[in-house]
Amino acid sequence: MQNVVTYIIIFFAGLIMQAQSNVEQSAAVEPTKYQKGMQKAFQLWQQNKSWEAANVFERIATAETDNWLPPYYVAQINVINSFTEKNETKLKAQLDKAQNFINEAKAISKDNPDLMILQAQLYTAWIVFDGQRYGMTYSPKASELYAKALAIAPQNPRMILAKAEWDMGSAKYFGQSVEPYCKEIQRAIDLFATFKPQGEFYPSYGEERAKQIKAESCN
C-alpha cells in the first residue's frame, strides 16, 4: 500500500508543475475573472496550501456552474490529502466531499475519462486506508473505471499511465511480473511528447511519473 501512496503523491506532483505552466501562459494577457481565480488557486497549491486552494476552486465552482474543472480540482485535493489521513472520521468527511464534487463534475461532463480516473483514485484511498474492509468492494470498481477511461481515450497518455500503474500494483501484490505493462508505460511516454490538453487549466500531468516508473520498474 505504501507504493500506492507514493504513486498518488508523485503522480499529482506533476499537476503542480502544470499549474505553474498555466499561470505563466496566462500572464502575457489580461486574464478574465475565471482565469484569475484559477491562477490564484493553483498558486496556493504550489505553495503547499492545498486546502486554501480547494476553497478557491470551490468558490469558482459555485460561479462557473457549467465548467467541470473547478469541482474536479476540489475533489482531487480532497482525494490526494486522504491518502495520508489516518483518522477515519476526517477521511470519510474528505472523501464524501470529494464524491459530491465528482458527482457535480460528472453532471456537467458525462463520460469524462479524467473524472473516471479520479473516481478510481477515490476508491483507492479507501483501499489504502483499510484493504481488508474495502479491498474486495472497491478494487473491482477501480479496475473497471481504469479500463473504461482508457477505452474512451485510448490515445490519452494519462489514461494509459493510470491503468498501467494500477495493473502493475496489482501484479506486484500477487507476486507477478510487471513486464507486460512496460510497453504501455513506454507508449504513454511517447504520447506525452505530443499530447496537448483540450483547453486552459485542463489536466496535462503524468509524464515525469511515467519516466520514473520506466526507470524503476522496466529497466
Question: In whole angstroms, what is the distance from residue 161 CA to residue 180 CA?
Answer: 13
Burial bucket for residue 91 (CB in 10 Å: 0-12, 13-18, 19+): buried
Domain residue spans in the chain?
Answer: 2-155
Instruction: State the pLDDT at residue 2.
Output: 47
| DSSP structure class, residue 199 | S
Q: Which residues 6+ apart lie within 8 Å of 164 measured at CB? A: 181, 184, 185, 188, 213
Task: Give pLDDT < 50 ranges for the chain.
Answer: 1-2, 6-7, 9-10, 20, 26
Q: Do 113 and 132 contact (CB within 8 A), yes or no?
A: no
Q: What is the pLDDT of residues 88-139, one digit of tens each?
A: 999 999 999 999 999 999 999 999 999 999 999 999 999 999 999 999 999 9
Fold adopted by 2-155 = 1.25.40
Tell me the helix, strand and coil percentages in the chain, rounded to 5: 80, 0, 20
Report CA-CA distances (Å) from 186 to 76, 77, 119, 213, 215: 26, 28, 25, 10, 11
